[in-house]
Structure 1
């Protein structure tokens, strides 16, 4: 039989790889044939070869070669280092004090450990896994059964929910239909009323276009009349308005226009009947003009900042607020600090009939607003909350303040889009948010003032109107025919002439006969 293709083959020579190898070199660990034995022994290397018969090699214990000393065999095993060692390794200091056992004893110990592990695998671990494997199909069947049960329960609950949702949706649809029906009735009624009103207006226009003579007595009714005035020789004090004097009733009209030169005019305050103080945005100078429109003098703020509001006191001095937390007073050309705040920034200021100052101020974090009354530099009263402990005023943005003749404190709150009026004790009297008229845009109050009759006037820049209220907050009418362009600041002289500061034009307009 050909040895290359037989099921069992002889050991071949490691060198020639052809001939059978009856010999073995224990030093080089190679098989040798007779022809290669002599050649291997005559090798010029320094190794001392030990060639024995293959049968002798197989019957002799085969100790492994040392890793450190290739010519040596390892007969011992170092347990600390877990490596085989030879005699040279033992004599070195590296394994000094280490426990050393016979290498074949180490093999036997390891074999015993492996046999124990095999026994544990066969007798304990393997049966357990077999048991788990046999239980898995049962668990899979139970899982499928439970899943089907849960699915049926979910489907059943889903049907219940769907029925409830369908009921709710149907009810909502029914409510929408009811609301539509009710609103349709209201809209139809409103449409009929509007149609009737338009018809009446059309007829009125046609009638007014027809010429006719108006009787003199009817004309007198339209133009009004003057009531009798009592004449006295006693000297009159014109510094205070007479509450019950009769006003000339007629159409409001502008009698004076003053060009202040400000690009954005924010405020105006009357100095008796001789002139008006003005302030503008992005300008740290306050200007005094006479009623002929001539600049009388100009005063710069002490800090160089923009004045946030101005007011003429009862004694004729100018007061202004500065956002560096001060309220300042100007006497002639001298500026001195009257009030210095901490944690609050002054906004608007008003001089009261008693000579006190009302100051609207915001907290440094812009979250609170209050009105504080000062006598000189002393705080007398603080107004911030209503009876329920809720804020009376919104936080931040512009606010203007004025005192009415009944000592009510009136604040126009731009952010809240309202005029808030409290009595002298700080208790809320009413809040005005604008008339309910279709042609009025959003009510945005700005400057506010009051007249000798207790009427309250506030500027509405978005609509270019001046709203007029009575002292109880009832809407009386508008000033809308004076070609106002974004009215901002307001003030009143002792003759009840109204001064309006126009923000966009930088002009002050004096209006008489406003009601």
Structure 2
């Protein structure tokens, strides 16, 4: 086999370029054959380390430290994403950084690679192959379908043409009937007039004879008939028919030959591969033993109810009034908007495009405050007055009272609402203005949520579960994206905090669920399967609103103080 033209070949000696190389020099990084080892070792310019290729391949080869070239790297800093030597540990550059053993990290990484390879070969790649086989079938089905549509359209055309021909034939017959009636009426009128003319002529002749005869008896006995002849026959008044100059209703024709729109969408196939042993390169972030207060944000008003992050630097708030307020983290009021109806907003959320939505319980509506820069009407900064903003009512839910809402990862809205008579509660997923899904009953046809005048907040988790803090039930109720009950969390098995009465709820990037327990002035953290992890109870005063930003910092709105506290609870 010619090595220069071989697609796959054994390792060759770097010196003679021909013989198979079972040896390797760790110092010079060269492959060597048995015959060339002695020649290579005769080079006294440096100390060589020649080992078997098998030993080389089975040994971990750590790189040289970039800051200390004489040392090999033994450790790895996650924060800098680089290997380091032991001397680097004491440097200010890497102070407070997370440290990993490079050998252990290498072994973990190898395990990840092996599992990824197995997953790709045995699961992912076959799925793609299967998907590729569907394409020709879909193409053939589409071609057949388009031909069927064309045939159906041709038949519709024939039906339309026949209908028009039938209408024209009917109108032709109506014109013939009208012509006959018209001719008959004219003939009758002509007969009446001709008869009258004949009678008048006879009367004129008779009167002339009376005058010429001079007969006293005949003239004395004359009786006039002019009264009868003076009355003309009725005049025939005819309104001739016409073709009505109406425009063709093309919209009606389009509806007769309507064509549903083509929908081409991608649908998640839900390939989920268990990967035991293929853990993340770095372990999940650990919870702090004692959460840390980062900052207090004074928001001016007491009775603060809700908070939602516009960004990591700005927060929207609302309380028991009709004003929505935007603050920065220093507590500076940046914007303010009055609700459209003047009612107090029940809940707020920020859309993925950066606009604000709020719930108006009293007029049963969901409203959008257009605050994004792409909108034509943009809120202006405060100058002592509420700023102007365009508020659009997205949805009216007649017969129901919307309680709270959240924005989903898909961009859709989740709204929890009570019926007007407070006897039913449901969660509705809205896509635009249209309800797409209703979640209300479990598999035994029992209500998932309590009804009545109890606060119920909701949030979507990263695994697409829908989490509801049901105060009336004293539970967090979690269902899957399909609306199937997964679990109910009613507090940890044993607690000194007393009864669990949840209010607000949110989730973080690790899939953990956080909910306020306002009467114990704490926040419960549970994992996505309902396992209690810990409390956050560092001097909170009646915590109500909750939100987690993109860095997993927790914002807690306090009802009594009118403050929003920003907390760190991960290491």
For Structure 1 versus Structure 2, the TM-score category normalised by the shorter chain is 0.5 to 0.7
CA-CA distance at 1:247 after TM superposition: 3.2
Is 1:384–1:393's contact at 8 Å kept on the other side of the alignment? Answer: yes
Structure 1 stretches of 4+ with a deviation exceeding 4 A read 227-230, 242-246
What CA deviation, in whole Å up to 9, does each residue of 1:125-165 have, x standing for no partner? xxxxxxxxxxxxxxxxxxxxxxxxxxxxxxxxxxxxxxxxx
Give, in whole Å, the separation in 2 of the partners of 1:368 and 1:435: 28
1:349 aligned onto 2:405: yes
1:473 aligned onto 2:512: no
Is 2:439–2:483's contact at 8 Å kept on the other side of the alignment? Answer: yes
Give, in whole Å, the separation in 2 of the partners of 1:277 and 1:289: 6
Pairs aligned (count): 280
The aligned residue for residue 337 of structure 1 is 393
Is 1:244–1:453's contact at 8 Å kept on the other side of the alignment? Answer: no
1:366 aligned onto 2:422: yes
CA-CA distance at 1:320 after TM superposition: 0.1
Give, in whole Å, the separation in 1 of the partners of 2:569 and 2:487: 27
TM-score, normalised relative to structure 2: 0.47
For 1:107-118, list aligned pairs within 5 A.
Answer: none
1:376 aligned onto 2:439: no
CA-CA distance at 1:403 after TM superposition: 0.2
CA-CA distance at 1:248 after TM superposition: 6.3
1:419 aligned onto 2:473: no
CA-CA distance at 1:490 after TM superposition: 0.3
What CA deviation, in whole Å up to 9, does each residue of 1:448-476 have, x standing for no partner? 00000000000001111110000000001
The aligned residue for residue 270 of structure 1 is 309
Match of 1:488 among 540, 544, 548: 544
Match of 1:306 among 335, 340, 344: 344
TM-score, normalised relative to structure 1: 0.52
CA-CA distance at 1:341 after TM superposition: 1.0
Give, in whole Å, the separation in 2 of the partners of 1:297 and 1:247: 35
CA-CA distance at 1:437 after TM superposition: 2.3
What CA deviation, in whole Å up to 9, does each residue of 1:214-263 have, x standing for no partner? xxxxxxxxxx9725699xxxxxxxxxxx9988536533111111111222
The aligned residue for residue 54 of structure 1 is none
For 1:445-464, list aligned pairs within 5 A.
Answer: 445-464=502-521
- Taking only aligned residues, the RMSD between alpha carbons, in angstroms, comes to 2.3
**Cα pair distance change 1:243/1:321, threshold 3 Å:** farther
Give, in whole Å, the separation in 2 of the partners of 1:462 and 1:268: 19
Query: Larger C-alpha radius of gyration, 1 or 2?
Result: 1
1:226 aligned onto 2:265: no
What CA deviation, in whole Å up to 9, does each residue of 1:362-385 have, x standing for no partner? 100011100000011111100000
The aligned residue for residue 428 of structure 1 is 485
1:498 aligned onto 2:536: no
1:326 aligned onto 2:365: yes
Give the secondary structure class of the aligned counterpart of 1:358. strand
Is 2:285–2:570's contact at 8 Å kept on the other side of the alignment? Answer: no
What CA deviation, in whole Å up to 9, does each residue of 1:74-106 have, x standing for no partner? xxxxxxxxxxxxxxxxxxxxxxxxxxxxxxxxx
Match of 2:292 among 250, 253, 260: 253
Give, in whole Å, the separation in 1 of the partners of 2:420 and 2:364: 10
